[in-house]
Structure 1
Amino acid sequence: MITLHLTRADDYAGVYLPLPATPAEIGEAWAELDHISGDVASTRIVGAISNVWGIGQYLKNADVNTSGQFEKLNRIAELTGSLDRHQCHIFEGALNAESVNSLDDVIAIGERLEQYLLLSGVNTDRELGAYLVETGVMPFEDSVQPYLDYAKIGIEYYSNHGGAYATGGYVLRRESAEQALLDIADSSQNRQTPGGMEMG
């Protein structure tokens, strides 16, 4: 699900175009933009409303006047439209973790979300360090755990494994994660219903 905020010249109000859009719907949006300015070359994406938080920043640089760009934008909208909340968090984190320079990069990431892992609720270095210790991925004796610097543990893990913190948690490539971490995260996800409620 994506709705583009488009405008021309120095106007901010612009028009909103839900995607995927047909050529006729794009034409109607262009007709509305003509009332704002006849400078077609100044048409640009100001932002986007989507179930994938922050995706708009990766769409803004697309030249909507270039042939083929709307086909790519429609493809991205199709990808986001089929995602559940867990997958939306993964998409957000994967975009932040990777080098994204074009719509093709956004599409490539969206088509391989299964290659990423989400540690739900882990949003800071300290939370990451605590998660790794408490789950036994990085084992320490119980007697020393109260004295551990969890933030430092998280920083070192982040530095060595990459990834990014997203609104739903920490996202990293599955190939970068230890098998123990994969097993724990996958087990947690399997206990959740599509609505995000965790079953006991």
Structure 2
Amino acid sequence: MTAIQAESLPVILEGQDLIAQAKTGSGKTAAFGLGLLANLNPRWFAVQGLVLCPTRELADQVAQEIRRLARGIDNIKVITLCGGTPMGPQVGSLEHGAHIVVGTPGRLQDHLFRQTLDLSNVKTLVLDEADRMIDMGFIEEIARHRARLPEKPPDPAVLCHLSGQHPQGQCAVPAPSGRSKSRSVAQRRTHRTMVLQG
């Protein structure tokens, strides 16, 4: 187990918000992947985990790692929703049910607009390389995705993973319109948010 995994997994398993920054290859994906899998009900085919990534390549890598981690659990379905591929097969996969969706903000917005993706049962939201997504101009899409998450307690845990391009803790997660103003993950919860740097 890597240092970032040892520090972050207990926080993730408790359902707390987390901001983590570590170098590539440090095991962040495995940490949040294990946390996503631990919070799933495998018998319930509803989207319970959502991972947003800035690029299709990163989304593919993350989905592949989560599938690898899920091999020991029967019938876990992970779907990748990214641009550059036809919508039809993605819609078909969603119709058959999925536990975890990994995708890019733009394609997820397309599915939300077409009402082919239901986020009302999400327990955990992961913003992988959140700082890069915000730099790329996806802050409004992230806010719209958050607006589709359950409002009743407990709120879905938000796990922010930074690419390392910004100082520790600089992860602004926009609040959905109609709720309070944009605020950082650390300010969103009444219980503690862990900020880890590896």
Normalised by the size of structure 2, how large is the TM-score? Answer: 0.21
Of structures 1 and 2, the larger Rg is shown by 1
Normalised by the size of structure 1, how large is the TM-score? Answer: 0.21
